[in-house]
Amino acid sequence: MKHVCSLLTLLVSASTLASEPTVEDFGKTKDGEAVQLYTLKNEKGLVAKIMTRGATLVELHAPDKDGKSADIILGWDDVAGYESEDNQYFGCTTGRVCNRIAKGKFTLDGEEYTLATNNDPNHLHGGAERSLDKVVWKATPFTNKFGQGIRFNYTSPDGEEGYPGKLKVSVSYVLANSANRLTINYKATTDKATPVNLTNHAYFNLGGAGSDTVLNHQLKLNADNYTPTDDTLIPTGKIESVEKTPLDFRKMRKIGARVEKLTETAALGYDHNFVLNSKKDNDSRYNLAAMLRDPESGRTLRISTTEPGIQFYSGNFLKGQNGKDGKTYAHRSALCLETQHFPDSVNHDSFPSTILKPGDEYMSSTSYTFGVTKEQDQKTEK
Ligand code: GAL
């Protein structure tokens, strides 16, 4: 009897497990390294495809208010697209330190480090040659009672891209089976003190990648404050209120309503780090960061994170690239919501620290929950 019961338990739990992720070849890098593309699916209609180069989200399909699915992130059909000049960090894992480091310099434990100034005069998104978006990661698919996932591992040697310490990084994408939620979990350890700040750089258009504009999308950010910057987008160190500025997204606002007020600034539109309000629910590691919706398709996206900040970037550098499926990516036709520690934290002692020490573990997690709204009256503030 006991054996029958445990067999039954085994069968029941096996039947509640999601099916295995699938894998296909995605081509080769210019150095001849093979790249694989993994597919995660759930029973609610969300499909995520992630490749081993840059642990990059290549496709993300979500249903609209009529149940029609579309790929809602920018990308390319092949590795060559991702290796081209046109790639502005589409969908990638970004690091070792995402966003900017002033003049590519920082001092740690009395030693000065110099990094690539690949966004003149600053360092951007981990460097020029071997940043985390450009290397091929090792993938391990898994399935558990919550859904399907892929864990990507990469060991960045001491000194790679100028950063100290051998950094062991893992990024797991987990697609929930019972909800339209994709969670990205980041972990890292080091053998020398080093700055770490990881994010995902997906460009979203909830109307479908290649749709004209995201200026009709509506956004709400859980942020009373932001970090003002100089003309090279490096924070001044101050933390200022969004009140009476075009950065006030405390209530749902149409993105296009005030973006032109920023076009003539150094940011060229929205390209700002918002300081997330501190957690209301102390039981949860996660904090609500952003709500995005597209009135046309009805698709919504809710982002929760363990990070203290979020960079909202309105695709100001998109320039009509030809992307996946023959689609064109026009100026401001997609946006990024990059959960992270604040830019240039390594040079600002007053910002939450990005320094990882030997013996400690870096941990970060962000969840993206997709839904639909059928509301006719989608109220926004003026
Ligand atoms: C964003 C950044 C922008 C731009 C973009 C890549 O994360 O905030 O300024 O560099 O990446 O084109």
Q: Note the pLDDT tens digit of each residue in 211-228.
A: 999 999 999 999 999 999
The mean of the pLDDT values for the chain is 94
Q: What angle do CA 38, 43, 45 make, to 5 degrees?
A: 75
pTM, two decimal places? 0.94
Is 338 among the catalytic positions?
yes
- As a whole number of angstroms, the distance between CA 238 and CA 163 comes to 26
Whether 146 shows a pLDDT value over 90: the answer reads no
Residue 379: predicted pLDDT: 62
Q: Note the pLDDT tens digit of each residue in 115-138.
A: 999 999 999 999 999 999 999 999
Helix (H, G, I), strand (E, B) or coil at 81: helix
Q: What is the CATH number of the domain that holds 274?
A: 2.70.98.10
Segment 164-186 shows an average pLDDT of 97
Q: Cα of 264 to ligand 1 centre, how many Å?
A: 17
- Residue 304: inside a domain, yes or no? yes
Segment 87-109 shows an average pLDDT of 98
Of all protein residues, the one whose alpha carbon is nearest to atom 1 of ligand 1 is 313
Whether 51 shows a pLDDT value over 60: the answer reads yes
Number of structural domains (the chain) is: 1
- Residue 229: inside a domain, yes or no? yes
Please give the residue range of the domain that contains residue 90: 2-377
Residue 145: predicted pLDDT: 87
Q: Cα of 267 to ligand 1 centre, how many Å?
A: 10
Segment 160-176 shows an average pLDDT of 98
- Residue 316: inside a domain, yes or no? yes
Whether 382 shows a pLDDT value over 60: the answer reads no
Is 201 among the catalytic positions?
yes
Q: Give percent of the chain above pLDDT 70.
A: 92
- Residue 331: inside a domain, yes or no? yes
**CB contact at 8 A, 267 and 202:** no
- Catalytic-labelled residue, pool 201, 217, 341, 348: 201
- Residue 112: inside a domain, yes or no? yes
- Residue 382: inside a domain, yes or no? no
- Token pair for 319: 């320039």
Whether 12 shows a pLDDT value over 80: the answer reads no
- Residue 323: inside a domain, yes or no? yes
- Residue 263: inside a domain, yes or no? yes
Whether 17 shows a pLDDT value over 60: the answer reads no
- Choice among 33-42, 62-71, 148-157, 272-281 with the minimum mean pLDDT: 272-281
Residue 361: predicted pLDDT: 98
Residues 6+ apart with CB under 8 A from 90: 56, 73, 74, 75, 76, 82, 201, 202, 203, 323
- From the CA of 99, give the closest atom in ligand 1: 7
CB of 160 sitting under 6 A from ligand 1: no
Segment 240-250 shows an average pLDDT of 98
